[in-house]
A and B are shown apart, each in its own frame.
Chain A
Amino acid sequence: MAESRFVYVIYIRTTPEKLWEALTQSDFTRQYWCDTWQDCDWRVGSSWKLMIPDGRVGDAGKVLEIDPPRRLVLSWQNQFIPELKSEGDSKMTYLIEPKGSAVKLTVIHEMDKPNSKLIDGVSQGWPNLLSSLKSLLETGQSIEETRHWPKGV
């Protein structure tokens, strides 16, 4: 395969607006995304940073497309692991579609090169985050182990 890509889909009983907020606003992301937050003004061309709680920048990129509450495309480069940073930009897409009483969230994370270690790495993390996000939006409680940044990372 000439590229690396994964596609994850989860159904969440919520509204597109609420899900958009949960994906972009710090008070939500801190609860299910290992206490990280995103530094961005959410406009096309703006810079975007995923901030680790100790102040380091985890990943960074730009807003490539934004259409709230339907579609967000970010360029995404790891910043704190040299081996991953050297791979350059990946592309991350959120697609949000209402489906009956639920909302379908599709996450596509891709890079134009085969066997990307970044794509392999983030693909391990997303199922945890997505399950925790679902739990947070449906029950008000995220999954405990996703509330803190892992020790020693």
Chain B
Amino acid sequence: MKPDMDAVFKALADASRRRLLDVLRAENGQTLSQLCCHLDMTRQAVTKHLKRLEDANLVVTLWRGREKLHYLNPVPIHQIAQRWIGKYERHRLGALADLKAKLEGESNG
């Protein structure tokens, strides 16, 4: 199955799933149990959200021994950025994002 862009936007349209991606961004390659520690959700809810993220290709998994590790896959988000952000806008947008982060403190929207 080739995930389409609708699946990416639908997967991102949920605060709990964005939080899961944040947790993976902070530390990539976590098991389900590790992910559950960071989140105020049942194990079943986390499993369900991970499935949606995997279907959208935003999370990919890898078996290492008996452990299933979850990795943030930024490629679909990169493709979205590439589609709507031009080559020369990237630097200016980066500077604006830095400025906002500096003034407001790092926070997750």
Contacts and interface: CB of A to CB of B under 8 A. Distances in A.
Interface of A: 1, 5-11, 13, 99-102, 106, 108, 127-128, 130-131, 134, 143-145
B73 A102 contact: no
Contact of B57 (A9, A127, A128): A9
B contacts with A: majority SS: loop
24 contacts: A1-B27, A1-B28, A5-B28, A6-B28, A7-B71, A8-B60, A8-B73, A8-B75, A9-B57, A9-B75, A10-B75, A11-B2, A11-B3, A100-B1, A100-B2, A101-B2, A102-B2, A106-B60, A127-B75, A130-B75, A131-B79, A143-B82, A144-B87, A145-B87
A108 B60 CA distance: 11
Interface residues of B, number: 17
Contacts of A134: 79
Contacts, number: 47
